[in-house]
A and B are shown apart, each in its own frame.
Chain A
Amino acid sequence: GAGVSQSPSNKVTEKGKDVELRCDPISGHTALYWYRQSLGQGLEFLIYFQGNSAPDKSGLPSDRFSAERTGGSVSTLTIQRTQQEDSAVYLCASSPGGDPKYFGAGTRLSVL
């Protein structure tokens, strides 16, 4: 497709399990961003990639969260030992440069 694709669209997991969320950016976009959106709230910055490197990962809430990007394309956000407070919609955006312009529809994560 032409847009940012995220998978899965929904994920239900048990507390303590690990989860992986995937983002396929628009082809050729060098910048990739991850955000988290809790119910009724604005977006919260997690991490930003330029190519395969992450100049700013200051928004990751704890060391249970990590992200990588390979080939300047696909990115994976991993949450280890999930907690109930991790429940949220995780949004990915890509851009040819500069501000996050194109967002995916997100992955809705529910931790039981």
Chain B
Amino acid sequence: GQQLNQSPQSMFIQEGEDVSMNCTSSSIFNTWLWYKQEPGEGPVLLIALYKAGELTSNGRLTAQFGITRKDSFLNISASIPSDVGIYFCAGLNYGGSQGNLIFGKGTKLSVKP
């Protein structure tokens, strides 16, 4: 089946550093979503992208929908300890029903105070 390649798998950074993670796909998507999941909880939607080239911010988070429609990145600026968690990208194919998302395997972020 379809796969999303999400990288890096894990990051261990110092508080205050910027973070960048990305997802690539072998097929074209018409929606990219970024979620954060903390232990024992469900994912929380951070940013949704619907148009190629779209750049959207949510506080210290910025995400972009790649112009090829096959990739997306998420940046976190000036990281803080509460940014710790697993970040997932998810994409929706053209013609796919809403909710039938393909998820990456996640980027585990650790922040050292």
Residues facing A in B78-111 (CB within 8 A) are 88, 90, 92, 97-106
B31 sits at the interface (CB 8 A) = yes
Min CB gap A14→B, angstroms: 25
Q: Which of A41, A42, A44, A100 has the most CB of B within 10 A?
A: A42
Is A104 positioned at the interface, with any CB of B under 8 Å from its CB? Answer: yes
The 6 lowest CB-CB distance pairs between A and B, nearest first, are A103-B42, A42-B103, A48-B99, A56-B97, A33-B99, A43-B103
Complex contact A104–B106 (CB within 8 A) = no
With a cutoff of 8 Å between Cβ atoms, the chain A residues found around residue B88 in the complex are: 42-43
**B105 close to A42 (CB less than 8 A):** yes
- The answer to whether A101 has its CB under 8 Å from any CB of chain B is yes
A103 touches B43 (CB 8 A): yes
* B92 contact set on A, CB distance < 8 A: 99
A106 to B99, CA, bound (A): 17
* Closest beta carbon of chain A to B102's beta carbon, Å: 8
**Known contacts A45-B101, A48-B100, A100-B99; 6 further A-B pairs (Cβ under 8 A):** A4-B42, A42-B4, A43-B101, A48-B99, A98-B98, A100-B45
Measured between alpha carbons, how far is A102 from B88 in the docked complex, in Å?
Answer: 15
A42 near B99 with CB under 8 A, answer: no
A-B pairs with beta carbons under 8 A, tally = 63
B100 to A59, Cβ gap below 8 A?
A: yes
* Interface size of B as a range: 20 to 34
Interface size (A, Cβ < 8 Å)? Answer: 25
B26 CB, min distance to chain A CBs, angstroms:
16
B13-35 interface bits toward A, Cβ cutoff 8 Å, 1 = contact, 0 = none: 00000000000000000010100
Please give, as numbers and ranges, the residues of chain B lying within 8 Å of A58 by CB-CB distance.
100
A55 at the interface (CB under 8 A from B): yes
Contacting residue for A56 out of B33, B45, B90, B99, CB 8 A: B99
Provide 26 A-B residue pairs closer than 8 Å at the C-beta atoms, listed in order of the A residue: A4-B42, A40-B106, A42-B6, A43-B43, A45-B99, A45-B101, A48-B99, A48-B100, A55-B97, A56-B97, A56-B100, A58-B100, A91-B42, A91-B43, A93-B99, A98-B98, A99-B48, A99-B92, A99-B98, A99-B101, A100-B101, A101-B45, A102-B45, A103-B41, A104-B42, A105-B40
